[in-house]
């Protein structure tokens, strides 16, 4: 009997009334559970419940909302091993990586425990004769989020924690590939004291997303996924009058200058390219080497080390890279290796035929390494989202910056150098939302915003940090005057500001 993954609506688990979708353990290649999709009626019930809950939750003091978050943070810390095991079982990433994801979620919760301070407005006295002005931030209503498979804990919390901290209620639609952990998060939040209906979890496909997008009671929509999906959700959401920010694809570059420490750079690139089997929007799938000597040195290191990556089930000790999330995605990534070979790139390391003893049905492949990749090749232009690293050789620093800036994606990038002037110039000139200097995956901490540029993002407000408070609240300006008892008559001009 397969385990059944339900909805979480109005504070309790509810059996889905829609289609049934298999959930795999990618290390085994076997179906381990089934997620029951929500019916249209159940999505409507979740929205109604969230709308009703908003009436009281929006009036709960920010300090009381913070106390719920404090308790939730404590529960996350107590259950980190349980949650990490759930992520590894359905996603495939190694346990240490899963724990790291949850720690990032805890940091986000910690930041929003200070929500009373984040919601403070401004006050100006005597803006006019006997007049004062101030601003306040107020909650919006029912918000919704569509979260991806690659970070089922971290990105889900990035979406719903700021929303509920600001006094909103939330409908989460997680990925059907690894949905179990989001239900557990909802349970823990309820245990922490979150009232019923404030957070709801529904499962489904595009039909559920479309229902959220077109429902008049949904005030905001946030999503993370491929660029076509993100663009669709963003454009549909804003045409329906919703506030939206949606995060799409990426092709992050690491630029390596001749003065970089090649040993340290190889370490950084190895982890950034092949960690989590490359299924990260902030992974490094492209290394841009300035000069052939730099490229030769890096390739010499990587062609020895990539085949030595310890690939296997994520719950086994010492494993460095787990499987890809599904058989379909594995086939998709492998197809790009053939494309690269046909395009004329040099396949230095081919990990397609890797087999793991005892896990022959698992969705495994080894790391792949291409050298002499050209900018017009599809393996460079398109997001592969797998353990594939492309080496491009560029003549000088300016050409490297120009190459990065021409790409349609601008999520993140990094530079490896000991030259402070070059690094500063790179940071100023590069067209990407997140930049690392000798840091391969520059994901900002919880109190700085996350967000890319160009086709990597739709909407002009970042995720988490102070910008989340901006996204999940509306600003109201108030001007007051308490006149004396003596009447002065009607006024037909602008208030006197002298």
pLDDT along the chain (498 residues), means of 10: 94 96 98 97 98 98 98 98 98 98 98 97 92 97 98 98 98 98 98 98 98 98 97 98 97 98 98 98 97 98 98 97 98 98 98 96 98 98 98 98 98 98 98 97 93 95 91 97 73 64
Among 392, 418, 423, which residue's Cα sits nearest to residue 260? 418
Q: Which two tokens stand for residue 446?
A: 């919880």
Rg (CA), the chain: 25
Give 261-284 pLDDT, tens digit per residue: 999 999 999 999 999 999 999 999
pLDDT per residue over 199-250, tens digit each?
999 999 999 999 999 999 999 999 999 999 999 999 999 999 999 999 999 9
pLDDT of residue 246: 97
Given the residues 281, 289, 368, 390, select the one marked as catalytic. Answer: 281
pLDDT at 491: 73
* The CATH fold of domain 3-248+456-478: Aldehyde Dehydrogenase; Chain A, domain 1 (3.40.605)
CA 40/CA 342 separation, integer angstroms: 46
User: Is the whole model's pTM more than 0.85, yes or no?
Assistant: yes
Share of the chain above pLDDT 70, in %: 98
**What is 253-437's CATH number, 3.40.50.150, 3.40.50.720, 3.40.109.10, 3.40.309.10?**
3.40.309.10
For residue 25, how far is the Cα from the chain centroid? 22
Query: Cβ(394)–Cβ(373) under 8 Å?
Result: no
First CA to last CA across the chain, in angstroms?
A: 78
Domain ranges of the chain: 3-248+456-478, 253-437
Q: Is residue 281 flagged as an active site residue?
A: yes
Q: How much is the pLDDT for 496? A: 58
Q: Tell me the residue ranges of DSSP E strands in 194-313.
A: 199-201, 218-224, 243-247, 253-256, 286-290
């Amino acid at each position: 009997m397969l385990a059944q993954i339900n909805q979480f609506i109005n504070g309790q688990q509810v059996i889905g009334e829609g289609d049934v979708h298999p959930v795999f353990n990618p290390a085994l290649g076997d179906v381990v559970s089934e997620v029951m999709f929500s019916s249209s009626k159940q999505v409507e019930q979740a929205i109604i419940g969230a709308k009703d809950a908003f009436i009281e939750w929006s009036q709960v003091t920010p300090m009381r909302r913070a106390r719920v978050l404090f308790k939730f943070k404590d529960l996350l810390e107590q259950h980190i091993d349980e949650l990490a095991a759930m992520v590894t079982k359905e996603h495939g990433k190694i346990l240490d990586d899963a724990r790291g994801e949850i720690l990032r979620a805890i940091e986000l919760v910690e930041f929003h425990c200070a929500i009373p301070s984040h919601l403070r407005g401004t006050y100006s006295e005597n803006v006019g004769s006997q007049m004062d002005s101030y601003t306040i931030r107020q909650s919006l209503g029912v918000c919704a989020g569509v979260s991806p498979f690659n970070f089922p804990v971290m990105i889900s919390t990035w979406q719903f924690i700021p929303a509920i901290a600001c006094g909103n209620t939330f409908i989460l639609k997680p990925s059907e590939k690894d949905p179990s952990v989001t239900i557990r998060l909802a349970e823990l939040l309820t245990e922490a004291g979150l009232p019923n209906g404030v957070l709801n979890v529904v499962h489904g496909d595009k039909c559920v997303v479309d229902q959220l997008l077109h429902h008049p009671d949904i005030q905001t929509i946030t999503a993370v996924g491929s660029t076509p999906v993100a663009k669709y959700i963003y454009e549909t959401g804003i045409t329906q009058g919703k506030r939206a920010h949606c995060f799409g694809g990426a092709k992050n570059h690491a630029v390596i200058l001749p003065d970089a420490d090649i040993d340290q750079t190889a370490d950084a690139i190895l982890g950034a390219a092949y960690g989590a089997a490359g299924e990260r929007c902030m992974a490094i799938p492209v290394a841009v080497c300035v000069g052939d000597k730099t490229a030769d040195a890096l390739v010499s290191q990587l062609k020895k080390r990539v085949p030595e990556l310890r690939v296997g089930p994520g719950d086994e000790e010492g494993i460095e890279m787990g499987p890809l999330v599904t058989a379909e995605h594995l086939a998709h990534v492998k197809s790009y290796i053939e494309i690269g070979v046909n395009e004329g790139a040099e396949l230095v390391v081919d990990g397609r035929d890797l087999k793991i003893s005892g896990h022959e049905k698992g969705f495994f492949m080894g790391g792949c390494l291409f050298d002499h990749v050209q900018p017009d090749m599809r393996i460079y232009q398109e997001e592969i989202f797998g353990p594939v690293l492309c080496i491009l050789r560029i003549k000088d620093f300016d050409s490297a910056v120009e190459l990065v800036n021409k790409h349609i994606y601008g999520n993140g990038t990094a530079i490896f150098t000991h030259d402070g002037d070059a690094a500063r110039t790179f940071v100023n000139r590069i067209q990407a939302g997140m930049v690392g200097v000798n840091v391969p995956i520059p994901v900002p901490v919880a109190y700085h915003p996350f967000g890319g540029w160009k086709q990597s993002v739709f909407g002009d407000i970042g995720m988490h940090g102070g910008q989340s408070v901006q996204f999940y609240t509306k600003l109201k300006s108030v001007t007051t005057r308490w006149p004396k008892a003596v009447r002065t008559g009607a006024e037909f001009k602008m208030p006197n500001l002298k």
